[in-house]
């Protein structure tokens, strides 16, 4: 169980996330949603220990440190691979550093996405780089896989493939926390949606609950954000002086 | 490729940031070392010039002959050796820059720093950033120290005893 208790992160006085409480259990697939600057990336980076924060983050009751950090994997749109190295070199590096590295999954995903194994990653397209970033995160052998906009730059077919593959390969105890703007795309893939706004959790719902209430994920987000459906028309009217 | 060369390449790969182009660093350092070494050799030209200009005097007239002046004293060793090892000092200090280069490499083209910071081996990032610069800095300092000793021994053996100023030491 990944537990986040009363976590606050301040950026030079400005609040990144404020008093966030969240618990994510094994096997959950959680979508993390929110506008730009809502604190999604900040929350993920606090979990991974990249930022100092106030509060407590634990993994099965233990603080996250070198003893259990390998239980967390991270795929980011900023990319965390080494651009000069090939996928084959990365495999060796991961095998050296992550004892639970899943070679079979790595090879399988490399084959599925038809990525060249011996070419430097800097020569890959952005879409291929995203794919490889996610392949590494999924193959690390981690229990909790954190993803921050991992498919930015990939076409819709590619993303669709990924969701299907993900659902097919994940073990029951593997947990995904996926930060994305692609609400409608991931709706059928996730089991729970957490909504952040101005650094605070403003919504936390399972997709079963949504289904029971007859709402879509988009409806839930709009309602929680108090989205005014006529705000565009109002703004355009003001700008064009129309009655 | 010889086995030894392969082993060296593997060692470099293991002890520099993953994928870092260490060959260019090594080439630049070797060239820096060559220039530093060549500059240090000017100690001998300086010594040679002082030896003949200070310890010998021209005979009067136009004979073109010089004789040893028994009362003449050579400048102190530290004065002759001053600045001759500057190249090695620069090379050693430049290794601080290499550490910075190694660290900032993890921000180039991606944020591989994220991966390095979440490795189970906590020291891995700094081990890879520091190993090569520390070895090169120590190597540079060792060569400089060795040359300093060589210059001192040369000075003390080549200079006539009567011309050695009192209280000479290596620094």
Q: What local confidence, expressed as pLDDT, does residue A227 receive?
A: 67
- Out of B111, B117, B122, the one facing A76 most closely (by C-beta) is B111
Show the tokens assigned to A114. 């038809």
CATH at residue A222: 3.40.50.300
A115 with A148: CB under 8 angstroms? Answer: no
Asked if A84 lies within 8 A of B115 by C-beta distance, the reply is no
| Cα–Cα distance, B78 to A84 (Å, whole number) | 47
Q: Three-state SS for B93? A: helix
Q: Is the pLDDT of residue A182 over 60?
A: yes
The beta-strand segments (E) located in B9-103 are 56-58, 66-68
**pLDDT score of A68:** 95
Write down the number of H helices and E strands in chain A: 9, 10
Q: In angstroms, rounded to a whole number, what is the distance separating the alpha carbons of residues A205 and A211? A: 10
Task: Give the closest-approach CA distance of B9 to chain A in angstroms.
Answer: 14
**Cα(first)–Cα(last) distance of chain B, in Å?**
44
> Mutate which of A52, A97, A153 to disrupt the B interface (most B C-beta within 10 Å)?
A97
Residue A186 banded pLDDT, cuts 50, 70, 90: confident
Neighbouring-strand partners of residue B56:
B68
pLDDT at B41: 96
Beta carbons within 8 Å of A166's beta carbon, 6+ residues apart = A138, A176, A189
The verdict on a CB contact (< 8 Å) between B122 and A66 is: yes
Mean pLDDT, chain B cut into blocks of 10 residues (171 residues total)? 88 95 94 97 96 87 79 94 95 96 96 96 95 96 96 96 90 77
Residue of higher predicted confidence among A230 and B108: B108
Instruction: Give the tens place of pLDDT for each residue, A107-134.
Output: 999 999 999 999 999 999 998 999 999 9
A204 falls in which pLDDT band (50, 70, 90)?
very high
- Picking from A146, A121, A120, A144, the residue whose alpha carbon sits closest to that of residue A131 is A121
Q: What is the arithmetic mean of pLDDT over A7-29? A: 90
- Please give the helix or strand (H or E) that residue A62 lies within, else none: strand A62-63
> Which residues partner with A73 through β-bridges?
A145
Percent of chain A whose pLDDT exceeds 70? 97
Question: CA–CA separation, B90 vs A76, rounded Å?
Answer: 40
The Cα of A233 is separated from the nearest Cα of chain B by a number of Å equal to: 41
Q: For residues A138 and A169, is the Cβ–Cβ distance under 8 A?
A: yes
Q: Which two tokens stand for residue A225?
A: 């954000």
A93/B114 CB distance under 8 A: no
- pLDDT of A212: 92
Backbone conformation region of residue A86, classed left if phi is above 0, alpha if psi is from -120 to 50, else beta: beta
Select from A50, A70, A74 the Cβ nearest to the Cβ of B120. A70
* Contact (CB<8Å) A97/B18: no
A7, A229, A243 from A239: Cα distances, Å: 41, 18, 11
Confidence of residue A163 (pLDDT cuts 50, 70, 90): confident
Q: Is it the case that residue A231 has pLDDT exceeding 80?
A: no
Using pLDDT thresholds of 50, 70 and 90, give the confidence band for residue A164: confident
pLDDT at position A131, please?
Answer: 92
* The predicted structure's pLDDT at residue A14: 75
Question: Between residues A220 and A178, which one has the greater pLDDT?
Answer: A178
- Please say if the pLDDT value at position A242 is more than 70: no
* Domains in chain B: boundaries: 16-41+75-163
Domain count, chain A: 1
């Amino acid at each position: 169980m990944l537990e986040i208790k009363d976590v606050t992160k301040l950026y030079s006085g400005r609040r990144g996330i404020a008093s966030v409480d969240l618990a994510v259990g094994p096997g959950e697939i959680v979508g993390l949603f929110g506008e730009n600057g809502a604190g999604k990336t900040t929350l993920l980076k606090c979990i991974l220990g990249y930022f100092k924060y106030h509060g407590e983050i634990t993994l099965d009751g233990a603080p996250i440190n070198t003893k259990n950090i390998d239980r967390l994997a991270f795929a980011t749109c900023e990319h965390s691979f080494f651009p000069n190295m090939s996928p084959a070199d990365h495999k060796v590096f991961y095998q050296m550093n992550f004892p639970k590295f899943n070679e079979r999954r790595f090879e399988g995903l490399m084959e599925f996405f038809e990525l060249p194994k011996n070419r430097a990653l800097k020569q890959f397209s952005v879409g291929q780089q995203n794919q490889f970033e996610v392949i590494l995160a999924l193959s690390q052998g981690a229990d909790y896989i954190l993803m921050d906009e991992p498919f930015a730059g990939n076409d819709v077919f590619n993303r669709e493939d990924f969701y299907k593959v993900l659902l097919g390969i994940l073990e029951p105890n593997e947990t995904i926390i996926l930060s994305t703007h692609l609400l409608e795309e991931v709706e059928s893939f996730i089991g729970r949606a957490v909504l952040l706004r101005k650094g605070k959790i403003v919504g936390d719902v399972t997709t079963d609950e949504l289904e029971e209430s007859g709402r879509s994920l988009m409806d839930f987000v709009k309602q929680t954000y108090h989205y005014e459906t006529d705000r565009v028309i109002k703004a355009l009217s003001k700008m064009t002086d129309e009655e | 490729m010889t086995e030894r060369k392969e082993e060296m390449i593997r060692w470099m790969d293991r002890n520099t940031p993953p994928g870092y182009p260490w060959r260019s660093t090594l080439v630049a350092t070797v060239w820096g070392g060559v220039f530093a070494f060549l500059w240090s050799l000017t100690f001998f030209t300086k010594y040679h010039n002082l030896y003949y200009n200070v310890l010998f005097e021209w005979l009067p007239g136009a004979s073109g002959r010089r004789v040893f002046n028994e009362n003449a004293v050579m400048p102190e060793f530290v004065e002759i050796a001053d600045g001759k090892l500057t190249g090695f000092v620069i090379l050693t200090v430049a290794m601080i820059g290499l550490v910075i280069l190694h660290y900032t490499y993890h921000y180039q083209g991606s944020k591989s720093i994220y991966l390095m910071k979440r490795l189970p081996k906590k020291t891995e990032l700094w081990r890879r950033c520091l190993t090569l610069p520390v070895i090169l800095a120590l190597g540079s300092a060792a060569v400089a120290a060795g040359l300093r000793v060589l210059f001192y021994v040369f000075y003390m053996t080549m200079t006539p005893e009567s011309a050695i100023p009192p209280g000479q030491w290596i620094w």
